[in-house]
Amino acid sequence: MSLAGKIAIVTGGSRGIGRGICIALAKAGADVVTCYAHGADGANETVALCKEYGVRAEAVQADVAKNDDVARMVSYVKETYGSIDIFVNNAGITKDNLLMKMTEDDFDAVLDTNLKGAFLCIRHIAKIMLKQKSGHIINISSVVGVSGNAGQANYAASKAGMIGLTKSVAKELGSRGITCNAVAPGFIETDMTAKLPEDIIAQMKNSIPMKSLGQVEDVANLVAFLASEEARYITGQVICVDGGMAV
């Protein structure tokens, strides 16, 4: 599986799953641009890790919830690299709380970044991919978008919305050689989960049929496959990387 000569954009690639995706794409030979709203240092670290594989890589500041930022980022990458072959909507935020305590602002903020941000990115990238008559769009949803989760009404709604968006985009763009799929991670071992108490991690593991947390590479390797020509006939799918949680 080779992505040599392909140009990829990954939103939210400064850490965690996003960073892992950037590295997996670079390892397969793609040039990688990651965008970040905040945290330039983390994004630049990701760039350095990608360049170790001999590809071009850079970080671009852009808030995916802002249309002008997305338009600027996409235009810059197209002008600089000549094409955009892979787009990964990974940027996301959480503002967890129980339903009765969740504020309207917290609900809107999560939907704006996670769902509207993905829509804005796809709308701009589709113009380029339609002219190319090729492209792979991968949306990073979540297992909670499939099964829901107490205390995450806003996050679960945004990730469920991404699944509906994925299926609609797949139907609209499929005839032009463009695929659109969603990846739904479960509990993945990241810096965030590393801060959780041991008893909470134990409870999480016990709820998973495979009795272990996933690794960032489990998600990233699937994304790299979906971005390749080996996955050319796969579109509109939601693939859970969750150790069986959603079974």
Classified as helix, coil or strand, 215 is: strand
The one catalytic residue among 53, 76, 81, 155: 155
The question of whether 155 is a catalytic residue gets the answer: yes
Rounded alpha-carbon distances, angstroms, from residue 38 to 83, 86, 244: 26, 22, 33
Q: Which two tokens stand for residue 59?
A: 């970080």
Q: Which two tokens stand for residue 95?
A: 């503002």
DSSP 94: -
- 121, HSE (Cβ side, Cα atoms, 13 Å): 37
Distance CA 52, CA 201 (A): 33
Q: Give yes or no for a contact between 121 and 11, defined as CB atoms under 8 angstroms apart.
A: yes
Q: Which two tokens stand for residue 238?
A: 């939601």
Known catalytic residues are 155
